[in-house]
Amino acid sequence: MKIGILGAGHIGRTLARKLAAAGHEVKVANSRGPDTVDADALSTGAQAVTREEAVVGVEVVILSIPFIGIPALAPLLADLPAETVVIDTSNYIPARDNRIAEIEGGMADSVWVTAQLGRPIAKAWNSIYSVTLAEKGKPVGTPDRIAALVAADRPRDRDVTMALVEDTGFDAYDAGPIAESWRQQTGSPSYCTEVTLAELPDALASADLARSRRRSDLASKVYSERFEASHNPGGDFIVQLSRLLYAV
């Protein structure tokens, strides 16, 4: 497929590398220009382009930027064909994004994103820690392969996104419509806990939105006590912290 990725940070560059290696035609852009895209993102054939070029002539657009920056993408995405699949990988983190009243009032992160962009989206890869995404993908059929949740309203969005998740080395799990995507947000039992397909039904069933918000805030406090805002800790620390705070 022809894929454009907006954002070349920890998640975006890994997706560019993995999806290009899987045979897709990938363009990747960041906010600072093609010359600043990390070489690792381009190591398997992805092409660095401008943000405007990234969304031209593609079947899929992947959003991999900080959550609070998504509304600013609306003009860039306004002329995309209706059938283009837009996949959001971001998470609302109040300590970083400031408090958004609608979300604080109970609106699912991705319902808010849909409203900001004025178009349907799919939600994927947001429940996997960036180090897990980069290092722990495995071939289809591997025992204990980590699962990744996919939420979407349109069948095409769901089918395409699930296929791409599989291409990155994770078992895709249909988590239902965007309105239910709060079950894969920060603080939920499936978030950054490296669950498998067999474990996901219980994780989703035990999710509680109010509790997830409290636990997410607590995790942010623990993180800020130990690391600078831009630091990306090793996978073991984040996964262990997530299991401790979210999965009980």
Q: What is the pLDDT of residue 229?
A: 63
Q: What is the pLDDT of residue 228?
A: 66
pLDDT along the chain (248 residues), means of 10: 96 97 98 92 97 97 95 96 97 85 92 96 96 95 95 98 98 97 94 95 93 88 75 78 85
Given a contact cutoff of 8 angstroms between Cβ atoms, the answer to whether 137 and 162 are in contact is no
Non-local (6+) Cβ contacts of 248 within 8 A are: none
- Ordered by where they begin, the domains of the chain are 66-177 (3.40.50.720)
Q: What is the pLDDT of residue 95?
A: 77
Strands 122-124 and 147-152, by their bridges, are antiparallel
